[in-house]
Amino acid sequence: MWDKPHLLRQFSSALFGISLALVLYGALHYTLHLPVFPLRVLQLSAAPREVDVAQIEAVVRNELQGNFFTADLERVREAFEKLPWVRTVSVRRHFPGHLEVSLEEHVALAQWNGSELVNTYGEVFAAESAESGQVMPSFIGQRENAAEVAQMYGEFEKQLSPLGLEIAQISLSPRRAWQLRLRNGMVLELGREQSQQRLARFVAVYPYSLATMQRTVAYVDLRYRNGFAAYFPGGAGVPRATDGQGQSGQDDRSQHSKV
């Protein structure tokens, strides 16, 4: 090698290039860590509704370290997402010393199994309290079915809205049977099959039958092939036809007796 000048020139050029790269890296590293690029402003894109401002300030104090260039934004984002009521977070740099934080908060749709909340995306989350003054329905079911329960709640609400009836509780049993408890106290048993069709049958006849009764109906069993049965407080029941012929529908509950 020593008797080959072209190899020596290549070797020296390579060493010079490596040395120059290390010098530039060191200079850049030193410059970026100088106190001349401090983070002066952290701005929220919108004022939080449910997230505690004191908790936001705690994240800034504990997790936001370094200057504009060296701050670990992924670490900051993950810390914000651990706060109650926070669904997603994005953090962006704005030169020369400005960080913008966008917090998407959960919008509570209902209580979930009495201990948690479910948002409008059908996602279950834990939070200490809901929005003040908000009256929410109660959802009961398996956690993996939360999105389905939220979707069906919307569908059932649309069906009941012409009657002025609102859902106070919706439940989906482990055997996939649906039950609705309305705000007037009435319970609607929909069973496991054709739940929306059965509710549509109820909506069609309610103004002409149950709504005209002087006694309050406590429970309506819609698990019949062509009709339903209404029960008054105390257990008394009366079958109601939906075929328009004055005949109560054929009982189709043999396969739905256990829900």
Question: What domains, with CATH codes, occur in the chain?
Answer: 12-105 (3.10.20.310), 108-241 (3.40.50.11690)
pLDDT at 165: 95
pLDDT at 131: 54
pLDDT at 66: 74
pLDDT at 11: 52
Strand order in the sheet with 237-241: 124-125, 116-119, 108-112, 138-140, 167-172, 178-182, 187-191, 219-221, 227-231, 237-241
pLDDT at 214: 67
pLDDT at 97: 74
Task: Using a cut of 0.85, tell me whether the model's pTM lies above it.
Answer: no
pLDDT at 23: 45
10-residue mean pLDDT profile of the chain (259 residues): values are 56 56 47 55 80 87 78 88 93 81 93 94 84 80 97 97 96 96 95 94 88 81 88 64 39 36
